Chains A and B, each alone.
Chain A
Amino acid sequence: MRIVLDQGKCSSLGMCEAVAPDVFEVGDDGALQLLQPEPPEDRRGQMEEAVAACPTGALTLEG
């Protein structure tokens, strides 16, 4: 499973970080860092929650 970030859509609102702070982190410059671009399979449910929480639809899951 891989997280795909669309930088053009990301608006630095941080909802993904609220769901999984060890996977997503918004920096002081507003850029979203993927701390774990390929999280383990047992976290799929939480990653789906993070994707759904994004107000701008900037995140998708691959694989």
Chain B
Amino acid sequence: MEAPVVVVGASLAGLRAAEAARRAGDRRVVLVGAEEHLPYDRPPLSKAFLGAAGDPPSFRTAAELADLGIELRLGTPATGVDLAARELLAGGERLPYAALVVATGAHARHLPGERLAGVHALRTLDDATQVRTALEAGARTVVVGAGFIGSEVASAARERGLPVTVVEAASAPFERAVGAVAAERCTRLHAAAGTDLRCGHGVARLEGEGRVSAVVLTDGTRLPAELVVVGIGAAPTTGWLEGSGLDLGDGVVCGSDLRTSDPHVWAAGDVASVDHPIHGRVRLEHWTSAAEQGALAGANAVAALRGEPVRQYTGVPYFWSDLYGRRLQMVGLPAGDAEVLGEADGPWLVLYRRGDRLAGALGLDLPGRIMKFRALLSRRAEFAEALDLARSVPLPVRAAAS
């Protein structure tokens, strides 16, 4: 029997890869996932899901996946790959493949002492359910890391009227994601909402016996806590590939067509270190890049099996965050110099310039503007053109709080 296309990793990138592989031909497609859950949407886990009841929707029901002809192997963590034999090792089995798509994503980084009860990362549905339960119980919350996950958890705590402290080692939130100028503006969002943001502080240790009771900072400050959420970034899930012979760097190294160092293996999503035709080597952890890369890797894997041409990944990076009822959106990358337009309270726009080109755009409460800049980025427009566009229509004024 002809070997199937095997997709390992059953989140967004893996699901889109499996769907695309099925659409591209009549070959069998097997989707292997470590978690027991059907593929589910992750952005809501740190946003709407922390505020309201109910599971975030699965992308597809089991019946829909069966109709698409996707064979599911859930609760089956991959442990290795035999490139020479073309077999995936997962759940104690060897699964032969004609082509393999690696979409194992990323996992949350941890602090020492994180095993105490009441201390959580926020990456999976199970993590988010535990954080939500603690917030419902009115937990005094300390968030470690003022990145997007941490900031969204702080937002959820404040929306419930709970006191929350955010500890960040850098001098401002999101500094790596948006650059220094914009990060200063993001600081205001926390302050306006009553979040106690402490930047420039490291965590010395977590205190508690069995259950966490406090976070102790490197300057000796002791922050009492019943819930600690650790949002200090994610690392690509490549441990299971160590020693396989696959080229690994910051993730699975692949070309602009998402093919890895092995011609029968492709990569997509958070785990993929992609040679982007515009941005150079990037590993993106965004919803849209996972969706786009997944679909492309699945289609390319089938195309290559048929000897047909493959396509390049040219997607423009895009992420969004919902904080305290405000919307942040970023397209492109925060490279080079930043030009800031708009009042500090928002709506505001930051344009990033690399040489004479537009590199990225970040907007607060500008849902009607940001995609115009994405269009400019996709055709490598000059910075001057972006600035003209930004100035041609005055930024909307913030509606009075009701």
Contacts and interface: CB of A to CB of B under 8 A. Distances in A.
Interface stretch (B100-108, B182-190, B367-375): B367-375
A59 to B, nearest CB: 14
B367 A18 contact: no
Contacts of B371: 14, 17-18, 21, 26
Interface in A12-60: 12-15, 17-18, 21, 25-30, 52-53, 55, 57
A6 B41 CA distance: 18
Contacts of B57: 57
Contacts, number: 47
Contacts of A29: 368
A10 B26 CA distance: 33
Nearest to B44: A56
A30 B287 CA distance: 20
Please classify the interface of chain A as helix (H, G, I), strand (E, B), loop, or mixed, using the class held by over half of its residues: loop
Interface string B343-381: 000000000000000000000001111111011001000
Given A12-B327, A18-B375, A30 B368 contact: yes
Contacts of A18: 316, 318, 371, 374-375, 378
Given A28-B396, A55-B43, A15 B288 contact: yes
A26 B367 contact: yes
B367 A53 contact: no
A30 B43 contact: no
Interface in B190-227: none
Contacts of B396: 28
Residue from A26, A27, A53 having most chain B Cβ neighbours under 10 A: A26
A55 B368 contact: no
Interface string B308-344: 0000000010101000000101000000000000000
Given A12-B327, A12-B367, A53 B291 contact: yes
B370 A14 contact: yes
Top 5 nearest A-B pairs (CB, nearest first) are A28-B368, A14-B371, A12-B367, A17-B371, A30-B367
Interface of B: 41, 43, 57, 287-288, 291, 295, 316, 318, 320, 327, 329, 366-372, 374-375, 378, 396
16 contacts: A12-B327, A13-B320, A13-B367, A14-B374, A15-B318, A18-B375, A21-B372, A26-B367, A26-B368, A27-B368, A28-B369, A30-B327, A52-B295, A53-B291, A55-B288, A55-B291
